[in-house]
Amino acid sequence: MKESDFAEQRKRLVREIVAGGSLKSENVKRAFLSVPREKFFPKEIAAHAYSDDAFPIGLRQTISQPSTIAVMLEMLQAREGQKVLEVGSGSGYVAALLSEIAGKNGAVFGIELLHELHERAAGTIAELGYENVFLRCGDGRTGWKEEAPFDRILVSAATGEAPKQLAKQLAEGGRLVVPVGNILSQEMVLIEKEKGKAVEKERRCCFVFVPLR
Ligand code: SAH
């Protein structure tokens, strides 16, 4: 498929997600319109990059469904100039979206547990020239202490309960979005740091993520 065909499909997908009600903010829309999702796909299935579904990216992991990512990003409300952490950066696609939102005065830090996925994501991010994205391989449950505090933290894998260690790395007024639940279904939970405390603000049902391990 040609680049221009992908660009057309990207617009159609954004229209679809907007119509579905999950995508509202201009900065999130712009991010979806500029990041080439096909580049984060294994070549054999790149033609499917603009259907609103999760797809396998190898090692039994998936690139999340665009409308689900839209819900997470709307809850996260990341802004230009912010420092953002993503736990479970997988293919790097969501990190790229966050890179567009945070802009050149902001920065995105992504942690991925599986070495092979980390390597591939780092290659894609470098190839596409996202200079404000920093990726590392490791266990993201303990966050990224050297870079804390973060204005925003997004967890892209499911967990049994809201991760306390990550909440500690939130800046005052910062937001953390995390899918919390069991293996079959999770709620998207928004936590805000208020006067030094992690306070739950919102929950939305229902999503299915691969587990945080
Ligand atoms: N945001 C990703 C979606 C990846 S799916 C994308 O845009 O492609 C969730 C990812 O979390 C998987 O790649 C999985 O390997 C990773 N993961 C699971 N447990 C983790 C942990 N403890 N630390 C870091 N990454 C983890």
pTM equals 0.98
Q: In what order do the strands lie in the sheet with 83-87?
A: 133-137, 107-112, 83-87, 150-155, 170-181, 186-194, 197-207
Q: Is the pLDDT of residue 205 over 90?
A: yes
Task: Just list the catalytic residues.
Answer: 64
**Domains of the chain with bracketed CATH:** 3-207 (3.40.50.150)
Buried/exposed 102-114: b ≥16 CB within 10 Å, e otherwise: beeebbbbbbbbb
Mapping DSSP to helix (H, G, I), strand (E, B) and coil, where does residue 53 land?
A: coil
Predicted confidence at residue 41, as pLDDT, reads: 96
Q: How confident is the model at residue 3 (pLDDT cuts 50, 70, 90)?
A: confident
How large a percentage of the chain has pLDDT more than 70? 100
Whether 82 and 103 have beta carbons less than 8 Å apart is answered as no
Residue 114 in contact with ligand 1 by CB distance below 6 A: yes
Residue 93 in contact with ligand 1 by CB distance below 6 A: yes
Residue 68 in contact with ligand 1 by CB distance below 6 A: no
pLDDT tens column, 101-119: 999 999 999 999 999 999 9
Give the residue, out of 40, 89, 188, with the most ligand 1 atoms within 8 A of its beta carbon, to mutate for a pocket test.
Answer: 89
- Dihedral angle of Cα 33, 35, 40, 44, to the nearest 10 degrees: 50
Tokens of 92: 């790097």
pLDDT tens column, 41-91: 999 999 999 999 999 999 999 999 999 999 999 999 999 999 999 999 999
Whether 163 and 149 have beta carbons less than 8 Å apart is answered as no
